[in-house]
Homo-oligomer: A and B are copies of this chain.
Amino acid sequence: MPSPRDHDTLASIGESAALLRIFPRLPDSVAGLLGPGDDAAVVAAPDGRFVVTTDMMIHGPDFRLAWSTPHDLGWKAAASNLSDVAAMGAVPTALVVAIAAPADSPVTLLEGIADGLRDACAALAPGCGVVGGDLSVSPTLTIAVTAFGDLEGRPPVLRSGARVGDIVAVAGVLGEAAAALSLLFTEAVDPLGHPDARLATALRPRTAPQLAPTPPISAGKIAALAGATAMLDLSDGLAIDSARLARASGLGIDFDLASLRAGGADPALALGGGEDHSLLATFPAGTPLPAPFRRIGVCVAGEGLTVDGAPHDSAGWDPYRDWSGSAG
């Protein structure tokens, strides 16, 4: 039976009361020296530097409320930003979170997002927590996360450090987020093509890689300690992101088709599918690869991507060019 509080909206209880219901759900940050409540937070940066990345999730282009639960939204907003911190070889320490929501949103939406942020931090980056935020009104539900990390005295692992002969390796899944999105677009829509919540629920857990991904955050530090020469987060897909690493490093990459097929994966999805938030890293030839990294290719002289030596087109997804409001 719904409690009376389930009917509260942001407009009916106001910003201050909404924040009082959200704050206790947010995860604490071990690095937080001063948390929410003042004009700004204070966060520890023990080695005199901090890593920072920011990313927005927007209702429509980035998620559908018919498919994602509020918990999924908080989880994915945290996971995708934590992954960018990990890709530098850093350990995530803290997040700040700005949420803009329609005034008639139920407060339970914000509570669910807070729970997702908390559970993602606990599962993927223990010790990382939310140190501050902002709550606003918008016709479009928007979640902006800024994430911080500690390099623990190490140099950051850039995209540009790979050398010819380096092993190309990945930690995490390839193509599973895209396969799950495809499943949602084909099987979780009504006859008119609109997202359908009941059908989406029935498809869980097959859609989890898209709706609540579990990127290997701790692998970022592991790669750095193992001598990774370059690294990045796979957000736009292996083909487009590995081409970025290759371009920044001034070389080409040759993938092993058999490795891309490992575990029964579809190589086309493995190369083309975005949003896995796995980590792509390069290591000097001969490096014993640390778990959870597995070899998928090698850095070669030249430019561009090949698969078993055959050229691969690395054209990819662009949010401004390819997004259609009607098609989703």
A interface residues, Cβ below 8 angstroms from B: 10-11, 13-16, 18, 33-34, 37-56, 58, 60-62, 84-85, 87-88, 90, 94, 96-98, 100, 103, 131-140, 142, 144, 146-149, 151, 156, 158-159, 231-233, 248, 318-321, 323, 325
Contact = CB atoms under 8 A, between A and B. Distances in A.
Contact of A42 (B88, B103, B137): B88
A217 to B, nearest CB: 13
Given A43-B49, A49-B33, A158-B38, A140 B139 contact: yes
Given A54-B144, A138-B142, A144-B54, A15 B320 contact: yes
A136 B80 CA distance: 14
Contacts of A13: 320
B98 A137 contact: no
A94 B51 CA distance: 12
Nearest to A279: B39
A45 B42 contact: no
Contacts of A84: 39-40
B321 A156 contact: no
Contacts of A44: 48-49
B146 A318 contact: no
Contacts of A10: 320
Contacts of A144: 54, 56, 98, 134, 142, 144
A48 B51 contact: no
A307 to B, nearest CB: 24
Contacts of A158: 34, 38
A58 B137 contact: yes
Contacts of A47: 48
A16 B131 CA distance: 32
A96 B48 contact: no
A62 B320 contact: no
30 contacts: A15-B318, A15-B320, A33-B49, A34-B156, A37-B159, A39-B85, A40-B53, A40-B149, A41-B51, A41-B52, A42-B49, A42-B88, A43-B50, A45-B45, A45-B49, A45-B50, A52-B96, A52-B131, A54-B146, A55-B98, A56-B98, A56-B142, A58-B138, A103-B320, A103-B323, A137-B319, A139-B139, A140-B140, A142-B142, A144-B144
A149 B158 CA distance: 25
A156 B42 contact: yes
Nearest to A138: B58
Contacts of A325: 139
Nearest to A94: B52
A50 B53 CA distance: 15
A54 B88 contact: no
A39 B232 contact: yes
A322 to B, nearest CB: 9
A10 B321 CA distance: 8
